[in-house]
């Protein structure tokens, strides 16, 4: 595969090395103003930085459902970053048990915003009886955090845990019936969160990436050697020096645009979602100028899924048969179970393929690509998700 397409794909998926663009800072009230002259003014500035600007109108890439109530909510993680989320509450109160709903927190894909795929998942699951939130991770979308467009396996895992904090303290949520869904890069973050947060009773990773693996090893582990990683580290450190000297953070660029004719199929899939009316959103990193070019530092140096094999609660991993990312899900399944996935080379097109070991399941959707599981209602197995959560959030 040509290097420029690897760069374009990594810009979407891993925010690591070999990337540069023009600096851009999000223009919102969370940025504060010029440095104040007094300690009191400094305190006022810090307080103002915690006030998020939330869009009032419906600006999702999917239509609004008349079966749920929608509202905006905010909550802080343990790093003090205020997160913004869309909350969806079923209108059918008969779905409550003892006056409370089961709940699900959702985030992803990596470089997307809650107005895209995670919001669609949240609304669909709310229609099925779950109180749901779709949140923007730290440093992105309508959530707080400076500098903008950064990521961290630690902070982003904490984002999921903070969403559980929020849900578990709501009067209309049963704190013993909370699950999480991570899409794309947030699939790995979700499994990582389930590895530490015992309050998470069930986890779904849909079309998942292991972001630390792709950042350190390249796509398909093609750069899994010390020399390649050392070159990547050199590029990252050169970028850090440049950013510090300039006082700004260069952006890596989102999905390649215009799209060359010979782009790999999965880059074309990303373009078809992020760069067209199907999925474009003005706050989406992938739809616009991407992550900070130096954002991959911690992903390269920190391994996700370290304790995935110790997760005692159920985990469902879902992938498309044709997804370039499927090997991440297979690797996570093997890590959790100690068993090889052994997905057949060719699947029966009429039914999903599944392998279960204990309470861990790998589900493969025939004919589906990575991006199909972002928004294709004919491919995303929402009834399977409904069954999984209703069984495990009793």
Q: What is the pLDDT of residues 54-63, one digit of tens each?
A: 999 999 999 9
pLDDT surpasses 50 at 48: no
Distance CA 86, CA 123 (A): 9
Q: What is the dihedral of CA 356, 357, 362, 367, to 10 degrees?
A: -50
Question: SS3 sequence, 321-353?
Answer: CCCCCHHHHHHHHHHHHCCCCCCCCCCCCCCCE
Distance CA 115, CA 280 (A): 10
What pLDDT, in 10s, does the model give residues 192-242?
999 999 999 999 999 999 999 999 999 999 999 999 999 999 999 999 999
Supply φ then ψ for residue 135, to 5 degrees. -115, 150
What pLDDT, in 10s, does the model give residues 255-314?
999 999 999 999 999 999 999 999 999 999 999 999 999 998 999 999 999 999 999 999
Burial letters 249-273, b for 16+ CB under 10 A, else e: bbbbbbbbeeeeeebbebbbbbbeb
Under the banding of pLDDT at 50, 70 and 90, the label for residue 50 is: low
Residue for token digits 């996935």? 341
Q: How far is CA 171 from CA 166, 199, 328, in A?
A: 11, 17, 37
Distance CA 152, CA 161 (A): 14
Residue 341 sits at the vertex; the CA angle it makes with 335 and 347, to the nearest 5 degrees, is 150
Residue for token digits 């500035």? 45
What pLDDT, in 10s, does the model give residues 347-379?
999 999 999 999 999 999 999 999 999 999 999
């Amino acid at each position: 595969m040509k290097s420029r397409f690897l760069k374009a794909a990594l810009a979407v998926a891993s925010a690591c090395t070999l990337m540069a663009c023009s600096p851009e800072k999000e223009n919102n009230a969370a940025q504060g103003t010029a440095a104040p002259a007094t300690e009191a003014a400094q305190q006022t500035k810090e307080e103002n930085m915690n006030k998020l600007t939330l869009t009032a109108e419906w600006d999702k890439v999917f239509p609004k459902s008349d079966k749920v109530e929608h509202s905006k909510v905010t909550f802080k993680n343990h790093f003090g970053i205020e997160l913004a989320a869309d909350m969806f509450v079923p209108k059918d109160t008969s779905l409550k048990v003892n006056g409370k709903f089961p709940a699900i927190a959702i985030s992803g894909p990596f470089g997307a915003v809650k107005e895209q795929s995670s919001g669609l998942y949240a609304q669909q699951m709310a229609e099925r009886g779950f109180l749901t939130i779709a949140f923007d991770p730290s440093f992105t979308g309508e959530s707080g955090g400076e500098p903008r467009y950064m990521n961290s396996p630690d902070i982003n895992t904490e984002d999921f845990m903070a969403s559980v904090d929020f849900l578990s303290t709501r009067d209309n949520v049963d704190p013993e019936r909370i699950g999480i869904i991570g899409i794309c890069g947030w699939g790995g973050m979700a499994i990582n969160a389930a590895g530490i947060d015992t309050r998470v009773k069930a986890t779904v990773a849909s079309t998942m990436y292991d972001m630390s693996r792709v950042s350190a090893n390249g796509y398909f582990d093609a750069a899994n050697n010390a020399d390649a990683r050392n070159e990547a580290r050199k590029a990252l450190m050169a970028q850090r020096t440049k950013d510090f000297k300039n006082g700004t953070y260069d952006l890596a660029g989102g999905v390649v645009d215009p799209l060359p004719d010979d782009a790999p199929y999965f880059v074309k899939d990303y373009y078809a979602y992020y760069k067209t009316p199907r999925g474009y959103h003005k706050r989406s990193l992938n739809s616009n100028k991407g992550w900070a070019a130096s954002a991959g530092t911690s992903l390269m140096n920190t391994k996700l899924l370290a304790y995935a094999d110790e997760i005692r609660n159920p985990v469902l991993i879902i992938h498309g048969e044709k997804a370039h990312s499927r090997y991440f899900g297979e690797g996570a399944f093997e890590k959790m179970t100690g068993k090889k996935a052994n997905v057949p080379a060719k699947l029966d097109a009429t039914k999903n393929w599944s392998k279960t070991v204990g309470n861990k399941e790998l589900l493969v959707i025939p004919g589906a690509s990575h991006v199909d599981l972002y928004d294709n209602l004919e491919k995303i197995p929402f009834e399977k998700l409904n069954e999984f959560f209703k069984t495990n959030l009793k």
